[in-house]
Structure 1
Amino acid sequence: MTDTAVKNGFEQFVDETLTATAEEFRIARALRNGAGDAPTRLIDALLGRSTALHRYVVQPELQKYHTEILQQFAVIAAYAADDRGVEPYREQLLSTDTYVDAISPTVSSEKRADIETALLDRSTTLGDAIVPLIRHPSDEFWTTVTETFTEEEAKNFVNTKFRFTQPIDTFPAAFRFETTIDPERLLGPVGALLPATQPFTLDFTEEATVAMKRGEHRIIRNTIQTVHHQYQSDS
């Protein structure tokens, strides 16, 4: 039994999805819509530093998400390979879920409990779905997939199990994605000409949601096409 093939395939999908998300993400729109009470002159100055914004703001957030989602998938794979059920993995599955960290502080404790239950169910459902893949002896991803699923089963798996934005659809307005912007780091000497350059919170929930959905849609479509080609080449 091995989880190498499954982890490799999942990581490739995550990499492609986050690359597509970065391409769809518009930092200018996020700044205009989510900078709160930050002075207009400061926002205008930051908008002129798009390269620095992507390097010091967008890319670190994407890297953080990349790390977290792979950490959680490692726990999901461990759960899938274990016959003891979810209890030994419950806390780990929640503590590594990036959506748990993103639950808005305005959400009631009752609603938070409902969200955590749904997120846990989402993780275990994925874990249950990959059990046949983990039990396959090959370490090569596409060999594992084509020898485990029919083409339609593989397409359905991609279309239903790899939708990272599903919690956002299930619980609208329940999550908040934000980060701290340090204008002095981004603006350098230019910042000295502005009246206020103290760090501020950027709420990029709206832009992240749009970018993730667009990126996810594109990569799922491409992956389903790849699935078709893999099965055609094996026939």
Structure 2
Amino acid sequence: MSWQLSCLILLFCLLMKGSQAGSPIDSNLYADGLFSALVPLYARSLGLENASVPSCAFKVASTAVTNRDVNVELHGGRLLGLVIPGLARRGQCSAPGWLGLNVTLGCYVSLDNAHLSYAGSAKGDSLLNTNRSIVLQAMPVNASALLEVTSMPGGVPRVRTWALQPFTLAMGTSPKLSLNSARQATFDKEASKCVLSALSTYSWWNTGKPSKEL
């Protein structure tokens, strides 16, 4: 990791020297190097390449005499995509500029490559009341975070700001459950709670909105 960090520090120093005339293109080059070189290594060191997430269980209540309560269990959850394909710049970064004694630049980061996968089971979605194995996939849609990186001359760059923007979740199960529209909406709502709760165990996921189906 040391040579990648040295290269990024050198690039940041060049940004500092030219900060008065620096352009978004300079910041873009720095951010692309950050996301392609250092961030994947850092994510791997934190165990985020194939990170486990907590299990979850919920119930979809019966809505008529013709259907049963559905008991859902989600387990074996994995958070994937943070290393490969990984994070990516979304749009243009800001031009580097002085903020006090530091040079700072800002970029929006796309988190759309991240997704969660659960194994699980559902019992009661049919009158046979069989216990069915399911796979649930959940992924953020238009998920972005504002990243600001700052450093004093000759110093190691550090994160000044990480602000997650509101996003939605797209979810789907395989096989698809036999639920009417009202019960499907309940399933989506409860599964969304599970996913957002799992993501909240990582400090950089802290907000979201109800899901939409794939």
Query: Shorter-chain TM-score: what band?
Result: 0.3 to 0.5
User: Which structure is higher in RCO with an 8 Å CA cutoff and minimum separation 6?
Assistant: 1
Larger proportion of strand: 2
**Structure whose CA Rg is larger:** 2
